[in-house]
Chains A and B, each alone.
Chain A
Amino acid sequence: MITLGHYLVVSGILFTIGFAGVMGRRNIIIILMALELMLNAANLSLVAFSRFHVDPSGAPNYNAQVFVFFIITVAAAEVAVGLAIVVALFRLRQTTHVEDITTLKF
Chain B
Amino acid sequence: MNPILFWIFALLMIGFGAAVILNRNPVASALSLVVSFLALAALFMSLDAYFIGIIQVLVYAGAIMVLFLFIIMLLDLRAEKLRKINWVASAGGVAVALVLAIEIFSIVGRLSSAKEPFPPLARPASDDVHQIGLLLFGNYNLPFQIIGVVILIATIGVVMLSRRESR
CB within 8 Å of B: which residues of A? 1-10, 12-21, 23-27, 29-30, 32-34, 36-37, 40, 43-44, 47-48, 50-52, 54, 57-60, 62-63, 65-66, 68-70, 72-81, 83-88, 90, 96-97, 99
- Label chain A's interface by main secondary structure: helix
Compute how far the CA of A102 lies from the CA of B1 in the bound complex, rounded to whole angstroms: 49
Interface residues on B, range: 35 or more
CB within 8 Å of A: which residues of B? 1, 3, 6, 10, 13-14, 17-18, 20-21, 26, 29-30, 33, 36-37, 40, 43-44, 47-49, 51-52, 55-56, 59-60, 63-64, 67-68, 71-72, 74-75, 77, 80, 83, 90, 92-94, 96-98, 100-101, 104-105, 108-109, 111, 113-124, 128, 131-132, 135-136, 139-140, 143, 147, 150-151, 154-155, 157-158, 161-162
> Which single residue of chain A is at the shortest CB-CB distance from B92?
A23
**What residues of B have a CB within 8 angstroms of the CB of A7 in the complex?**
43, 47
**What residues of B have a CB within 8 angstroms of the CB of A5 in the complex?**
108-109, 111, 114-115
